[in-house]
């Protein structure tokens, strides 16, 4: 497993995270630690560490960059929970419920600022470009998603535009930054970026399918996206290919209030299954995982590369398996 191959590097990342400044404002480390130590697998910093090592990096500044990326990610989780009015994350109460929306927004801002401060301290301008692009893109993707809320006519294209921005960009940046630290040549850097992109897309498609897969046995709450009116790939496919009765079901469901809609979840899950939308979603995710694997074909088969490939395969397979890659 990736985390086992990078134990020392990850321990260094954890240390940076725990040493988190802002110690004179108690609330900041408290909230950050709640989220950071609540069982996420830290997939993004692992990718930065792995990409740097795969590209032959021998220094230790990739640790700072990896920690920055985890801070950026944590900041978006804090804000997402406020935006989605979520009650649970990874089976724990969300920070916004424990400390209030206000603290969640502000500590998110702090982590974002701190992430930039740490990246700037490394002083690698190309990495900064990559990460500031990602920061703007993530927020742009989230705004796009918000403006598609309950909008059933949303196309596959616009779904992919949203997940490219809100999810894949940070996976791309995580891999690219590792490559930049190692001074990898442009063509190879692009391959690592492509690996990150396909992994990110596989991950998000699989995540969106999980929301309609109660039998997965995974801690994730089924039905969150449905209740919140997020139009994700399973719904888009089920609606596109649905007969008149199915289309009418989806139209009525997404015209309902949240509380009423959630009563239709079983029907929604059933329709996504029988229409073949679930299987098609899984195909999309598997396809992305395959492309991720292909992106690394240049590199020799080492243990590290194999662990990266395994990560990509698992990312796509979460709704089939209990061996979760939880980010």
**Contact positions vs its own copies (CB under 8 A):** 21-22, 25-28, 76, 79, 82-83, 101-103, 105-107, 109-110, 112-114, 116-117, 119-121, 123, 125, 128-129, 132-140, 142-144, 146-147
When the beta carbons of 118 and 190 are compared against its own copies, the nearer one is 118
When the beta carbons of 15 and 102 are compared against its own copies, the nearer one is 102
Cβ-count burial 47-82 (b if 16+ within 10 Å, e if not) = bbbbbbbbbebeeeebbbbbbbbbbbbbbbbbbbbb
Q: How far is the CB of 116 from its own copies (least distance, A)?
A: 4
Question: 89 - beta bridge partners?
Answer: 92
Q: How far is the CB of 104 from its own copies (least distance, A)?
A: 9
Q: How far is the CB of 130 from its own copies (least distance, A)?
A: 9
CA separation for the pair 261, 289 (Å, rounded) = 33
When the beta carbons of 146 and 274 are compared against its own copies, the nearer one is 146
When the beta carbons of 133 and 310 are compared against its own copies, the nearer one is 133
CA separation for the pair 71, 36 (Å, rounded) = 9
- How far lies 270's CA from each of 170, 208, 273, 320, in Å? 33, 15, 5, 17
Q: How far is the CB of 244 from its own copies (least distance, A)?
A: 32
- How far lies 125's CA from each of 46, 180, 181, in Å? 21, 10, 11
Q: How far is the CB of 191 from its own copies (least distance, A)?
A: 24
Question: 92 - beta bridge partners?
Answer: 89
When the beta carbons of 131 and 277 are compared against its own copies, the nearer one is 131
């Amino acid at each position: 497993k990736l985390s086992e191959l990078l134990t020392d590097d990850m321990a260094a990342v954890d240390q940076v995270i725990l040493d988190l400044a802002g110690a004179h404002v108690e609330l900041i480390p408290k909230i950050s630690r709640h989220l950071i130590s609540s069982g996420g697998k830290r997939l993004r910093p692992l990718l930065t560490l792995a990409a740097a090592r795969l590209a032959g990096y021998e220094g230790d500044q990739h640790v700072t960059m990896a920690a920055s990326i985890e801070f950026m990610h944590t900041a978006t989780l804090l804000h997402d929970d406020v935006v989605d009015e979520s009650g649970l994350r990874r089976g724990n109460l969300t920070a916004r419920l424990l400390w209030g929306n206000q603290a969640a927004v502000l500590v998110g801002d702090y982590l974002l600022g701190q992430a930039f401060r740490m990246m700037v301290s490394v002083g690698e301008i190309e990495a900064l470009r990559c990460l500031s692009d990602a920061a703007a893109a993530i927020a742009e993707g989230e705004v796009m998603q918000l403006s598609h809320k309950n909008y059933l006519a949303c196309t596959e294209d616009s779904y992919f535009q949203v997940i490219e921005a809100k999810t894949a960009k940070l996976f791309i940046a995580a891999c690219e930054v590792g490559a930049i630290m190692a001074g990898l040549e442009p063509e190879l850097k692009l391959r690592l970026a492509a690996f990150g992109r396909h992994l990110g897309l596989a991950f998000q498609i699989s995540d969106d399918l999980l929301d309609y897969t109660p039998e997965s046995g995974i801690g994730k709450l089924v039905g969150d996206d449905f209740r919140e009116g997020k139009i994700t790939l399973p719904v888009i496919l089920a609606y596109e290919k649905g007969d008149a009765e199915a289309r009418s079901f989806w139209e009525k469901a997404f015209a309902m209030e949240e509380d009423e809609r959630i009563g239709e979840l079983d029907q929604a899950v059933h329709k996504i299954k029988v229409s073949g939308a679930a299987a098609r979603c899984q195909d999309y995710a598997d396809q992305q995982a395959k492309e991720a694997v292909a992106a690394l074909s240049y590199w020799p088969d080492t243990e590290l590369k194999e662990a990266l490939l395994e990560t990509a395969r698992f990312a796509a397979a979460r709704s089939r398996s209990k061996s979760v890659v939880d980010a």
